[in-house]
Structure formats: C-alpha cells, structure tokens
Amino acid sequence: MALVATAENVKALVDGLNFAEKVARSLRLISEAYEEYGDRLVVANSLGKDSCVVWDLAKRVNPKIAGFIVTTRFKPRETIDFMKLTVARYPELKVYKNDSEIPDRLYETNPDRCCDVLKVEPTRQAIREMNVACWVTGLRCTEGRTRTDFQEVEERDKGLVKLNPILIWHEREVWQYLALYGVPVNPLYAAGYRSLGCATCTKIANGPDERAGRWIGTSKCGGECGIHTQPLKIEVRSDR
Ligand code: SF4
C-alpha cells in the first residue's frame, strides 16, 4: 500500500490534515487494501461509533466488503438491538459469540481472562473461518493512553495485516462524519457514553480520556480488551 504513513508522521497527520483530507485518506487506504486483498479483506465491526465510520467508508469503497461482529453475553440490550438492526441491513456481517461456561463474575475477578474468552477467542474464530488476510478496525490513536502507538498498517501475526484507516481521526471528526453522512449509531451515545463495551464493565465518564469509563475499578481501567494489544497468535492461510 503506497499511502501508509511512517511512525513519525502519524502524529503530524493527526493535526496536519483537515476533516475532508482525512476522509479521502481513509477511503484510499481501504481502497488500496481492497485492491490487494480482495474478499480476504474483512471489517471488524464492534458496533461502536468508530466502527460505524469504518463500515460506512468500506461500503463506499465496495458494497461487497464483508465484516464480522464479536458480541458477548454481557452486551447492553441497546447494543444487541442495534446489532440486530445492523445485521438485518447488512447480512454480510457475521456475528461471533463464545457461549462456553466461565466462572461467575469473572469480569471482576479476572477481566483480562474474561475478555480473552469472550472477545479475543471469537475474533480468532472469525479470522480463521472467514479466511481473513487483512482485517480493518476503527482504532484511533487519539482515543486514550493505550492507543498512542498504533500504525495505520500493522502485522502482529505473520500473514495477517491489520489496517487502521481512521487511526489519525479525532473524536470530533468521527461525530462530524456520522452526522454529515447520516450514519446511525447505538442510542447509548445519546445517554452520555463515549466508549461502549459490555454493560458490566462500562460507565458514563467525563474528562479528557474517551475510554475512562471502561473497566472502572479494575486494573484494566481505561484500557483494552486485548484484541489490539497483542498478537492473536493464529495461523493464517497464505492462499490468495
Ligand atoms: S468487557 Fe467485561 S464482561 Fe466483557 S468480556 Fe471484557 S471483562 Fe468480560
């Protein structure tokens, strides 16, 4: 992909490009990757505001682009309802969920393990089953303390490229896009949430850190479920 920024100029691009330039850049990144990977390019749609942008951008690049959603038994009712509406509109979004038994209140006693079982494992399954070579995410480097070191294109697992096409977008620009292009979002945002996850681990929080409401009271506070912070440790088929 020709357009990809180096580690140094990601920071410069965050404030150096205007909204329209960022939209154009994101569309080009997805478009270049789609040319390279075809239907082995798949969007990981978390149903959050950032994923709504990325999904809309991908559909503008090519309506045939597919995706997957990872859901858990602890998602809020509003998120489940929003998921059902989204999948009814886009049947090319496959839903993955791990229903295996886990210890009671694992999200309190060992949230890392809980996320690994309920979120990371179904992500691995989706990537395997959909034969993904390039997955597209809504990660943004301005989103919080845990997200400052990502790149637009990464390869943490050999043969599996991760494309982060809105890496350099500000939160404001995400809302700007959703408003300007009339993209529907989870109604929980209207209630004051800024970052959405499982109901058990997500609160409304104020302050500069967008993810401050996640895992409050645990060692993971403001942190990550683990999907993006470590290799998925999966074998990826090389056929293209
Ligand atoms: S966000 Fe909370 S409930 Fe959901 S998988 Fe992670 S620890 Fe478990």
pLDDT tens digits, one per residue of 53-79: 999 999 999 999 999 999 999 999 999
> What is the pLDDT at residue 217?
74
pLDDT tier at 146, thresholds 50, 70, 90: low
Mean pLDDT over each residue of the chain, to the nearest integer: 92
Ligand 1 pocket test, pick from 105, 202, 225, 228 with the greatest ligand atom count within 8 Å of Cβ, gives 225
> What is the pLDDT at residue 227?
76
Nearest to 230 by CA among 98, 107, 84, 115: 115
Per-residue pLDDT, averaged over 137-165, amounts to 88
Ligand 1 pocket test, pick from 118, 123, 219, 224 with the greatest ligand atom count within 8 Å of Cβ, gives 118
Q: Which residue type is seen at 211?
A: R
Residues with CB under 6 A from ligand 1: 72, 74, 107, 111, 114-115, 118-119, 197-198, 200-201, 225
Contacts of 45 (CB under 8 A, 6+ apart): 51, 54, 55, 67, 68, 69, 86, 93
135 CA to centre of ligand 1 in angstroms: 22
Longest dimension (CA), the chain: 48
CB 174 within 8 A of CB 53: yes
Higher local confidence (pLDDT), 197 or 214: 197
Give the separation between CA 13 and CA 49, rounded to whole angstroms. 21
pLDDT of residue 198 exceeding 90: yes
**What is the DSSP pairing of strand 41-44 with strand 66-71?**
parallel
Protein residue with its CA nearest to atom 6 in ligand 1: 115
pLDDT in tens, 124-133: 999 999 999 9
pLDDT in tens, 79-135: 999 999 999 999 999 999 999 999 999 999 999 999 999 999 999 999 999 999 999
pLDDT in tens, 160-180: 999 999 999 999 999 999 999
pLDDT tier at 4, thresholds 50, 70, 90: low
pLDDT in tens, 226-235: 777 778 877 7
How many residues does the structure list for the chain? Answer: 240
pLDDT tier at 11, thresholds 50, 70, 90: confident
Residues 102-136 as b/e (b if ≥16 CB within 10 A, e otherwise) read eeeebbeebbbebbbbbbbbbbbbbbeebebbbbb
Ligand 1 pocket test, pick from 201, 211, 215 with the greatest ligand atom count within 8 Å of Cβ, gives 201
Atom of ligand 1 nearest to the CA of 75: 4
179 CA to centre of ligand 1 in angstroms: 29
Contacts of 166 (CB under 8 A, 6+ apart): 22, 26, 50, 53, 54, 57, 138, 139, 140, 174
- DSSP string covering 12-52, please? HHHHHS-HHHHHHHHHHHHHHHHHHHGGGEEEE--SSHHHH
Protein residue with its CA nearest to atom 1 in ligand 1: 198
37 CA to centre of ligand 1 in angstroms: 32
2 CA to centre of ligand 1 in angstroms: 37
Structure-token pair, residue 182: 């009339």
> What is the pLDDT at residue 218?
76
Q: Which residue type is seen at 122?
A: P
> What is the pLDDT at residue 231?
80
The pTM assigned to this predicted structure is 0.92
Counting DSSP H helices and E strands in the chain, the numbers are: 8, 6
